[in-house]
Each structure stands twice: as C-alpha cells, then as structure tokens.
Amino acid sequence: MKRTGKWILEILLFVFALAFLSPVYIMVVNSFKNRAELYENTLALPSSLSFQYYAKAMEKMNFLTAFGNSLYVTVVSVIIVVILSSMTAWMLVRKDNKVSKAIFLTFVATMLIPFQTLMMPLMQVMDWIRTHLHIPMLNTHEGLIYMNVGFHASMAVFLYHGFIKSVPVALEEAATLDGCSKFGLFWRIVFPMLKTITVTIAILDVISMWNDYLLPSLTLSDKGLRTIPLSTFYFFGEFTIVWNLAMAGLTLAIVPVVIFYFFAQKYIIKGIAAGAVK
C-alpha cells in the first residue's frame, strides 16, 4: 500500500509539474515559429530552430539598453534592501523592548497591504516631492530604486528577524570584550552568519523586481529608461499582437533570472525555513 501511494503521489507531482511548465513550453516553442505556423498549431514543435525572431525582438525591444536598466535597478535595489534590512532586523532582535517589538509589528503589518491600494496615492506623493522639493522621484531609475527598497524591506526584515534569533549572543559579547565596535561587530561577526537567508532574500527580490511591470510602468515614461518587462509592451499593440516576437521577447526576459535562480536555488528552502520558522 505504501509503495502504491508513493507511485500515485509521484504521478500527481509529475502532472502538476507539467501543468506549471506548460506556459513556459508554449512560450519557448512559439518563439521559433512564424505567425502562420503559430496560429495553425500552438502546441506543435516548430519546423525549424531559427533565431531570427529573437534578433528582431532584441532590436524592437532595444534589449541591451533595457537589460542594462533592469540590471542596474535590480542589483542596486537588492543591495540596499539587504544592507538596511539586515541591520534593522539585528537591532530589533538585540534591543528586544516594547519599542522594537512595535516597530517589527509595523514592518509585518505593511506586508499585508496590497500595492494596488497604494499606487495612486504613492504617485501623487512622488509627484509632489518632484514639484515642491525638486527631487526627481518620477521618471528616474533612482526614484524606482527608492520605491523598490520601501516595498521589499518589510519581507526582508521579517526573514532576517527570525534568522538572527538563532545567532548566539555569546559570539557578539566575546567580540565586544575584544574591543570590536558596533559596526565591526555586525559586519565581521553577525552578517557572515546570515549568508543563507541573505541569498534567499536576494533570490526572492531579484525575481520580484526583475519581473515587475506595474511599478516601473507608473514610474518610468522615457523609452530609454524602460526595463525589460516594459520593453515587451512594444509587441502588444492596440489592435494587433505580434505573438511570435512577443514570445521571443518574453523568453529573453526570463532567461537571466532563471540562470540566477538555477545557481542559487539550494539556499531558498533552507533560508526560508530557518528564517521564518524560528
């Protein structure tokens, strides 16, 4: 009975895997087809593996510029989130008073607020800052980075908070007795022990920021500033959609983050389990 149940479970997992991967299969397969072949049979394999549609998609998307924009926004945002969130969580854990608990609960509470309820007031506030304080918060990568940090800090603080509780206080006390400063204590003793959860947070934030369409679409208007998700919008016209080029463009958009995930995947489950459960 146990063996039969195991086989049934494996078959179900295989079916679910096929269901989840089917959109990726459709996207990749149809990126090699011409429009006639695509409309004839969406699920069939292409008659040839020509990369001409990828070349056209890269040209229409201005792919290299969009890739550079996405890379800059994502990398800088993730670095700032990791630095600020790890330090914040460390102080909240080590202080352990009513104020620190209230601040931590505030971070957790903000995770429950949908972005869609904030996006229009947020844009109004950013426009006010640009108009009255002359700080370019809209139509700049730096403004987008600032907002990315704000929206992703809560989850990072939550995960770091749980993980730091497992770091022995005795190590910090010993370093303090040896004359280590607060700054050195964190970066030399504590932060190196947060490698697993740091990589986990980086993976989650990279995937989220790289694939984000809504916030960049509200923030960036100049074509030269657009990220990769915004550049794929070129294929979706008001009356027509160039599906084969769109599929090629979407495949190009997900390849970098898939490669990143492939090399760092071993940290995800371990980091989330260690950070969120403890």
**For residue range 167-211, what is the model confidence (pLDDT) as tens digits?**
888 888 888 887 888 888 888 888 988 888 898 888 889 989 998
State residue 239's pLDDT score. 56
Nearest to 233 by CA among 221, 224, 222, 246: 246
**For residue range 199-253, what is the model confidence (pLDDT) as tens digits?**
888 888 998 999 898 999 999 988 889 999 888 877 776 556 778 888 888 888 8
3-state secondary structure 87-120: HHHHHHHHHCCHHHHHHHHHHHHHCCCCHHHCHH
- pLDDT exceeds cutoff 70 at 277: no
**What is the spatial distance between Cα 116 and Cα 90, in angstroms, rounded to a whole number?**
30
- pLDDT exceeds cutoff 60 at 278: no
What is the pLDDT confidence band of residue 74, given thresholds at 50, 70 and 90?
A: very high
Is-contact 234 61, C-beta < 8 A?
Answer: yes
Domains of the chain (ranges plus CATH)? Answer: 50-277 (1.10.3720.10)
Taking the model in full, what pTM does it have? 0.84
**For residue range 17-49, what is the model confidence (pLDDT) as tens digits?**
888 888 888 888 888 888 778 788 888 888 778
From the CB of residue 260, how many other CB atoms can be counted at a distance below 10 Å? Answer: 16
State residue 92's pLDDT score. 92
State residue 241's pLDDT score. 72
